[in-house]
Structure 1
Amino acid sequence: MADARACEFVPQWEVDLKAFTWKSLALASAVAAASWVSTGISHAQDVTLKLHQFLPAQANVPKLVLDVWADKVEADSGGRIKVERYPSMQLGGTPPQLIDQAIDGTVDVVWTVVGYTPGRFPRVEVFELPFMMTNADATSRAYWDLFEKEMKDTDFKDVHIVGTWVHGPGVIHSKVPVNTLDDMKGLKLRAPTRIITGLLGELGATAVGLPVPAVTEALSKGVIDGAVIPWEVTTALKVPELVNNHTEFGGDHALYTTAFVLAMNKDRYESLPDDLKKVIDDNSGQEFSAFAGSTQAGADGPSRQIAVDRNNNIITLDADEVARWQEAAQPVYAKWVEEVKAKGVDGQALIDEARALIDKYTKAQ
């Protein structure tokens, strides 16, 4: 895992995706769109897709990932697809309801945290296990591979998945310093998913399950003492203004990450004419997933710098201390394997496969 201090923002079209890349496709689509305009040729708008998600429009993921995806779909379709963007749950409901909105057709496309519906997508949880991820690019690629092999016709059989990715290294942001594992005892920390809730309990803290938009109010009112979230979202949530301490983990693996999906209503996708299905397909898959994960992680650096500029206390745990945390986290693995076994899932096999894939893509970088 790269040191977060060295992490600088990577413009969205500057992610290295090798060979015939997503960047190349985007540039080609822009040229094609310009050609339509310059020749005065236009097509009637055939399809409007409603994209619903839980963050404000100015937050990093909507601005740097979802808007880029939507703009490219519109351009590649020659204007025949329009993507209407609805941030901050503007179409109603709560963040945990997003996946069902995509399944039942209330909206056409959603971006959501898979773990907002605890235990519903058990195979995805393998990527959220502690100290599993190395970096967002490699882990997002591994996630897509395992989705296609193990999840497409099981966990996600009722929805059409466009992309699968994870955020950058998870960080502990707290009102009191966390310099050692012992400092976790008694802290009330926001947890994003079921797996991280279990992890925080094993580490001695009390986990409070909250969707990320609720973090700001919970911190300001003293409901929680801190939160585990990546750097990139701290700016939108005003976290560096509400806490003074930030604990990072040295070494090659992060404390945790969170799994996301960009999901489309299955019937809506199937109803598209073949040429517009191809537009969606061309903007789906491993390369898009890696772009999304890398871009989200690329925003960690600028957000971290805000905390630095405020003279907040940034703690980086050394290898010996991290080893204590890794040992304390081991029961999370054993418990998860037993839990998913009851759902007919071979958890240890998934762990082994996920680790092999992450290792493969990490070494390829």
Structure 2
Amino acid sequence: MTRSKGGMATVTKALCSWKSIVLAGLAAFAAGPVPASAETTIKFATTMPSNSVIYKSVYAPWVDALNAAGKGEFVVVPFEPPFATGTNVWDRVVSGVADMGFAILANTGLPFPKSSVSMLPGLGHDTEVGSIALWRLFEKGLISDEFRSVKVINVTTLPPVVLVTKKSIQKLEDVAGLKIRAVDKISADSLTALGASPVAIPFTEAYQAISKGVVQGFVANGGTLVAYKFGEVMDNQIANAYFGMLPSAIFMNAEFYDRLSPKAKEIFARFIGEESSRMIGAAYIGFEAQNFEAVRGQNAKYTMRQLPPEELARWKDATKPVVDAWKKDTPGGADIYSRFVEEYARAEKK
């Protein structure tokens, strides 16, 4: 699944993907209007404001298409925080407070060790391909036991985090001793393996810490750079050394799903699975391309550079112990890792 590196091409592809599902959903109107009273309300805990850029760019089109298809049977209504947050949304859905929810799995505070395979360094960077690969692991039962308490709608990978620093990084030795903000344990271990000193700082305090030189860099994706305006105080990005893609999911209360009408389940079937996962992943490609364009607008000095192949290989070798430790410590880790690599490669070629 090769694509142009240009932001406009990826945006166009993502929009085309959404167009196909929206058209499929709109076809449901052909049967004519049905009284609104017949519809089942589905409370969707978004964990983000409905006016946020990420919701409007990535998730709102999916919800709109689902609602178009379900007209007369159900309506998905977004419920933003404080109805549910990233740390409690799983419990809200399982308990039935929310009917459906979105979660970045690492933010829930619950263990998803197998699903964290996508967070390993150097494993991948394409959210569409990564989402397909992660769904296939779920579908084949390799990670599905981590989701037993819910009805999974899709699983996706978020845009990869990359190294962003104040000073220019040319080689591995330039990272040594730098205080770098990490986003999770795996990225912290990877930074340590590269010779840096990982630091845990809340997002809300990171801008000031960077401005004052408390930290010299961080790992983040484009969405984070724009949202917290980190691009204003950082000048350099290593564009091809990836520190993992956080896994996420949209899921439903299992009992609520079981109570849906047969027709509602038939409609939902078109929004459950690999295609649904792929489309969220494709939308993230366009969203991330726009983010990096916005970063350049924040800071004219912002530079994105590629490590040459031989140098990139050194970084991969340095972080290999992190991958090996994950495979050893995770039940079935070696098989999960190899299958993810295999499915990623297979999806990438299509």
The TM-score range, normalised by the shorter chain, is 0.7 to 0.9
Q: 1:2, CA displacement in angstroms?
A: 7.2
Which position in structure 1 is the counterpart of 2:308?
318
The Cα shift of 1:322 comes to 0.8
Residues 1:363 and 2:323 are matched in the alignment: no
Does the 8 A contact of 2:129 with 2:348 survive in 1? yes
Letter in 1 for 2:183: P
* TM-aligned CA deviation for residue 104 of structure 1: 2.2
Alignment match, 2:114: 123
For 1:298 and 1:71, the matched residues in 2 are separated by 18
Are 2:101 and 2:251, in contact at CA under 8 Å, matched by a contact in 1?
Answer: yes
- More deviation, 225-234/123-132: 225-234
Task: Report what 2:192 is aligned to.
Answer: 201
Q: 1:117 deviation in Å?
A: 4.4
Q: Give how far 1:308 is off.
A: 2.7
Aligned to 2:255: 267
Report deviation, 1:357: 0.8
**Structure 2 residue 236 is matched with structure 1 residue 245:** yes
Q: CA deviation at 1:29?
A: 2.0
Structure 1 position 259, deviation (Å): 1.1
The structural deviation recorded for 1:130 is 1.2
**Closer, same or farther: CA 156–236 of 1 in aligned 2, 3 Å:** same
Give, in whole Å, the separation in 1 of the partners of 2:199 and 2:97. Answer: 29
Task: Give secondary structure in 2 for the equivalent of 1:270.
Answer: helix
Do the aligned partners of residues 76 and 193 (structure 1) sit closer, same or farther apart at CA in structure 2, a change above 3 Å counting?
same
Which residue number in structure 2 is paired with residue 29 of structure 1? 25
The counterpart of 1:144, out of the listed 135, 149, 157, is 135
Q: TM-score if structure 1 supplies the norm length?
A: 0.84
Number of corresponding residues: 343
Equivalent-residue separation in structure 1 for 2:251 and 2:140 (angstroms): 17
CA distance in 2, matches of 1:263, 1:159: 6
Q: 2:146 aligns with which of 155, 170, 176?
A: 155
Task: Describe how 1:348-359 pairs up with structure 2 within 5 A.
Answer: 348-359=334-345
Q: Is the 8 A contact 2:219 2:243 kept in 1?
A: no
152-161 vs 349-358, greater mean Cα deviation: 152-161
What is the percentage of aligned positions where both structures have the same residue? 24
| CA spacing shift, 1:275–1:232, aligned 2, 3 Å | same
Alpha-carbon shift at residue 241 of structure 1 (Å): 2.1
Deviation at 1:101, TM superposition (A): 2.2
Structure 2 residue identity aligned to 1:149: K
Aligned pair partner of 2:271 in 262, 283, 286:
283
Q: SS at 1:96's partner residue?
A: coil
Aligned with residue 61 of structure 1, among 54, 57, 82: 54
CA pair 152-247 structure 1, distance change in 2 beyond 3 A? closer
Greater mean deviation of Cα atoms: 180-189 or 261-270: 180-189
The Cα offsets for residues 88-136 of structure 1, whole Å up to 9 and x where unpaired, read as x3215x5232222222223222212112246711111222211111522
Moved more, 4-13 or 349-358: 4-13
**Helix, strand or coil at the partner of 1:261:** strand
Q: Which residue of structure 1 aligns with residue 88 of structure 2?
A: 97
SS in 2 for 1:10: helix
Counterpart residue identity of residue 24, structure 1: S
CA pair 228-41 structure 1, distance change in 2 beyond 3 A: same
The equivalent of 1:71 in structure 2 is: 64
- Structure 1 stretches of 4+ with a deviation exceeding 6 A read 1-4
Q: Distance in 2 between matches of 1:314 and 1:325?
A: 17
Gap regions ≥5 residues in structure 1: 16-21
Q: For 2:223 and 2:216, locate their aligned partners in 1 and report how far apart those are by CA, in whole Å.
A: 20
Cα distance 1:353–1:5, how it changes in 2: closer, same or farther (>3 A)? closer
Cα offsets for 1:180-211 (capped at 9, x unmatched): 2223333333333332232222222333456x
Gaps of 5+ in 2: none
Q: Indicate the residue corresponding to 2:329 in structure 1.
A: 339
State the distance in 2 between where 1:238 and 1:299 align: 16
Q: Which residue is 1:307 aligned to?
A: 295
| Alpha-carbon shift at residue 229 of structure 1 (Å) | 2.1
Deviation at 1:334, TM superposition (A): 1.7
